[in-house]
Amino acid sequence: MEESSTFYVDANIFVYSIVNNENLGNKCRLILNAIQNSTIVGITSCLTFDEILWSIRKIDPESVIEAGVNILNLNLKFIEVNKTILYKTLEIMKEFNLKPRDAIHAATMKVYNIKNLISEDLDFDKIPWLKRKSIKEFKI
């Protein structure tokens, strides 16, 4: 079990859990099960929902609605993007040279004081106050 039980969950965790039937997908499904069972607390942005559905729609358009329903039924907290987060996004983009969507995720974490992230996106490693765990190194 990880040292903290609260994690911001990036879109790639959901996408791999849906489309990958190998070790990576299995590990993502274990992470999502841990969230569902309240072993860990999962938090994400409402924008993550859009990212997931966009990715799934490109891979398997027939399953996009079912995937959306399954995600909404998870024991997962969704944070809405607001103006405070968007101002912080601009600061993070400037300071760390992140893409807008990644900066919105980082800004959401900063505004809500979430330090831990589960993601395969190495761009988050530029941010010193954020602790990224890759899927493979995450321990449940």
Give the C-alpha separation, 71 to 78, whole Å.
11
Q: Which residue has better confidence, 50 or 139?
A: 50
pLDDT tens-digit map of 88-107: 999 999 999 999 999 999 99
How confident is the model at residue 21, as a pLDDT?
A: 87
Q: Hey, what long-range contacts does 88-95 have (CB within 8 A, 24 or more apart)?
A: 92/127
Classify the phi-psi angles of 137: left when phi > 0, otherwise alpha if psi is within -120 to 50, otherwise beta: alpha
pLDDT tens-digit map of 7-22: 999 999 999 999 888 9
Q: What is the mean pLDDT of residues 76-82?
A: 98
* pLDDT score of 4 more than 80: no
Residue 99 has a CB neighbour count (10 Å cut-off) of 11
- Percentage of the chain with pLDDT > 70? 97
Structure tokens at 114: 């979430």
* Residue found by looking up tokens 């969950």 in the block: 9
Domain 6-133 sits in CATH 1.10.220.70: no
